[in-house]
Amino acid sequence: MATNENLPPNVIKQLAKELKGLDESPPEGIKVGVNDDDFSIIYADIEGPAGTPYENGVFRMKLLLSHDFPHSPPKGYFLTKIFHPNIAPNGEICVNTLKKDWNPSLGLRHVLIIVRCLLIEPYPESALNEQAGKMLLENYDEYARHARLYTGIHAKPKPKLKSGAICESTTALNVEQHNTSVLNIEQKNAASGAGLSLPSPLAPSSTKGGNNPDHQPQLQQQPIVPATETGVSGTAVVGISGTAPKKEGLSKIPADKKKMDARKKSLKRL
């Protein structure tokens, strides 16, 4: 399963659309395939154009898409050995379309067609293979003989690319893009949720208590400290701080009783 780590979602979307179009309506003499492990590598089998030294050959090539494609051009390489002025011995392709003439509006179809046209009309002035370029300018027959020799040895028909591979791959691209979008939404929701202030464990609870004891507000215990209050009769009354104060009438009752007892004793003496 491809990871597509090298490509941003917008490029994946464009790539899926182009690959589907190439599969349904391929250019003449070109068959496109996709690397199952990395969709940034596009494979193509190019048939040698008729009337050229590459006729009857099948040349496999690849396009490497960078992270900022299509703003930067892909890099093209021939995997099949070929004797051509504009293709280096290591397979690198030299064509202006993939360099100074690149335009982001150009798609994969245009690039592949240009590469096949390069087999019809080479440009020896900008040769990567100096031997082939010099031979083409000085002795075309010798150049054509070398090119046909390479074609007969190396450009034999390749195993055909799976016709349904691109459709399956583009489906996988769409699914992965959808999963990426869902993941981004979930991450945004998680980030916004983390920004909400949580109630401090030291803050008083505003939840009203019910039958569940877990919801009962806990009262803070106050230390019991004796407090002395002076009654109306002058005697000391000892209370407990934190309790409701006694009514004034209760403190007056023992004082009035003592006064009445004292009056009775005074009358008896008289």
What's the pTM value of the predicted model, to 2 decimals? 0.61
In a domain, 149, yes or no: yes
In a domain, 260, yes or no: no
User: In the chain, what's the furthest Cα-to-Cα distance?
Assistant: 165
- Note the pLDDT of residue 61: 96
Average pLDDT, stretch 221-245? 46
In a domain, 114, yes or no: yes
- Confidence class of residue 15 from pLDDT cuts 50, 70 and 90? confident
The whole-angstrom separation of Cα 48 and Cα 55 is 4
In a domain, 172, yes or no: no
Cβ–Cβ under 8 Å, residues 61 and 80? yes
Q: What is the pLDDT of residues 47-64, one digit of tens each?
A: 999 999 999 999 999 999
| Number of domains within the chain | 1
Output the CA–CA distances (angstroms, integers) from residue 6 to 15, 41, 65, 91, 251, in the order listed.
Answer: 13, 10, 9, 23, 90
In a domain, 216, yes or no: no
Residues annotated as catalytic (active site), given as ranges: 94
- Note the pLDDT of residue 82: 98
Q: What single-letter DSSP state applies at residue 213?
A: G
Domain that holds residue 105: 9-155
200 pLDDT above the threshold of 80? no
CATH number for the domain harbouring residue 50: 3.10.110.10
- Confidence class of residue 86 from pLDDT cuts 50, 70 and 90? very high
Average pLDDT taken over every residue of the chain: 75
Which of 26-30, 33-37, 68-72, 145-149 has the weakest average pLDDT? 33-37
In a domain, 45, yes or no: yes
In a domain, 81, yes or no: yes
